[in-house]
Structure 1
């Protein structure tokens, strides 16, 4: 705290003080007066009012009418700005804290290119290409072949790099400074856009943007985390880390959309909720929890797109949707790889390893059923071609919204709840392979036996046979519907690939020359278009719905062909079989329980010979006959079992004779059983004897030998298989 002395004006003996600038008339008015009128608080008070207090600081005129006085002032320093919370919360001020309410405008300067660590080899190739071009310009020589070779090498390296990215590299792309923000995507996919502000509690968090927009003439409520495009914007947007006000703002807009029946589209791109002291004081956890609960009760369709990184609850607070989509190079995690590495490996350098273990990528989320689709990005990331990326987002949202709008309110709520309930499901009771059992603890080994599994399979087969349902679910109507859907999706895919004009020109040329064979030039055009389509279709996560429907259509075609072949073969066999042979087969099936085994075998062999003759006459080759597999252990296994039994008996005798008092307990138990005494006491004594014997056997290593023998027998039973009979391409 600073103190300074001021000499200002004259104080008269009659009590009047004259200070020209401030018009103070009384000495008491000096106390606490702000003389500077600025942001610093200056308090002054009279220090000397009479000459008797300090003669050196007072002067009296000859008449003794006046004296001079000193004034001391203290300057109090104001409190520093507590970022991101402004000092004043008045929303009516014309400038200053709420300047971010202005429209989202293009940047005045183009963002500088940023090279990630794993992209440095590509930068070196680019430099070489530039050097060769400069050399060609300077010398006037022809280096076109070298430039083409370097460019093809660059394209191949680019493709290899971005098709084999590690999880941590994808996270680096998701955090790229030039990656398009949520408002970039919204402005690209909407025809009209009006941003809405405020949580109706005195604050508007710039880290979350909300507003109404239209796509294809339909209105939607858009909500998303907004990062900055440069350092200044990032500071204003708080690096897309919302405070409780931001989540309450999003909640208000969700309720608004639910009231007016606007579908909701949310965009996730945040490292997490802002975790400062004031956010916790204002209820950060409560705000997130309130959003989670409310979103599961909204009666409008909700779609979520993860455009960058989605950090924990801060992302999930606006991501409880009916369908979740992720860009190809986005990430969704419960804890950042750096934080996970610091906890588990005590060093953030292990972040790449943590990213792999956390399974944060879009591909992993789609495989686990968390994400409903992966939206493709151009090679190099979304920042290479933001417009194309936005088009892919719009196409995905439109298709998903068409599906959800067909549901009523109850179906939407049920669909949303089931989506999240199905995440993390697993199945119990799966038999464990013998190889895995050896490395597991006894408590972890599945107790299901082979006979139990066979009985369950028999029950399942019986239930399937008894269940009533359509014998042929593939109908002409379903096939026609599937073909129509495939045609529509192929058309949309060609449009999104930017090949619509090329395909249309080829169609027109083909229609003109429909009666003539294709020319070489036309074949090359068609081949180039097909190569481009196949290349874009082969991208991971691209056009998943179309791929699934094409695969389904191929399966149906192959099934129909196989069914036609089976029907044809069945007719041929029925024509070839004589009535006498058919009667023998029927009588043989009826007499399985009445005829002895040896007679049944003879009759079966006779029928088999007749069937073989019929099949040979139909030009069919017999490659196998189905027969029941009788599990008979080999001789060496039998010998091992006998030896093990003898060893167990000998070990039990040794234990009984060696253990003190055990033999007497056995005799006492025999007497109790013979006399018919209390069965509970006998059972208790029997259990104690068994425990002592088992403990002794375990110590002698007999138990391990028994387990090894069980595993060996089970492996033999699992290795056995039945011969198969099949009909395929004229072979039986």
Structure 2
């Protein structure tokens, strides 16, 4: 080939329109096509490069013709020295050697510089899952036996997952046809120049490419594998952050526990707790709600005293508490919960009594006899039984203890309303306590 001749099957403009969606990228497409004489000679497609005057062969046709004649004569002289078998082998190797290479021969440094490094074989998802399970077992054992957490293995796994995700993203971009656009954008960003002169700023091109990849990523063939590895990376990144936090807080927690145990290691507190445990055991109550009011008050006092001890330890270490209960009285939420639980216990005891069980049984029997079309007499009997059951439950809930708790709760609610300026209608709905009549609860 002469020096300034080009040879191609697809023009650079057409190639740019296909690869880069714009014919303006023809110079970049021409570099990818490798259509010049020197590049074709390096690829062993052309046998040699014939010199040509600057400006092309038409500048000095006679000199160019002499160069072509000399190249042809030189090639014919080489072929005349060969016999038939050598000519056939020469012709055969002319096509067989295209793209071939021989190991052990030093490679040109300029060519080697552009070669891609050999990649390590990527592990399968099953191998990755096995490594994850092993690491989880190590972390669990470390927590149970207070051993040192295997941070190194976790870091290696996170790095391996990042490499895997990078490979999966490359496969996805290639499947979506965005690889060439991404390479073209990378080349533009590596070039130094004034980005203000361009019609579209590279940052906008990056954002557009990112949005396009995000919108079409779900249609990639490896989307399931990519999502699995991204979720795994997120999970282990959170575990790593927790381990770092735990390693920083562990010495502080040990110091707080030590000082708190020193505060609690006094005869006064121990004696108070032992007496309280003995009184609770004597009461033989099945649950905390069935304890008497005085015993509950003592429990709250001991609890708040322990909280104050803990708060003093925290303050002595110049730390801050998110919530510190300074008063011995229970909170409003605890009072509501306690009242509701006590009402439920009383209703349950009353329903399980023999008298009410008999009435409920009669009500079920009357309802079964009446069927879908009850007679007037059956309706009267059913309504009478319902009223008797309601009256029995109302009497059970009208105890002086419940009425006193209800009044105390209303007093606390009124204090909150005065400070917040809110209405108390929601509380009656929440507690289910009605104010109809003196001392009645529903």
- TM-score for the superposition, normalised by structure 2: 0.34
Question: Normalised by the size of structure 1, how large is the TM-score?
Answer: 0.22
Kindly indicate which of the two structures has a greater share of residues assigned to helix.
Answer: 2
- Which of structures 1 and 2 has the larger relative contact order (alpha carbons within 8 angstroms, sep 6+)? 2
Q: Which structure is higher in strand share?
A: 1
Q: Which has the larger radius of gyration?
A: 2
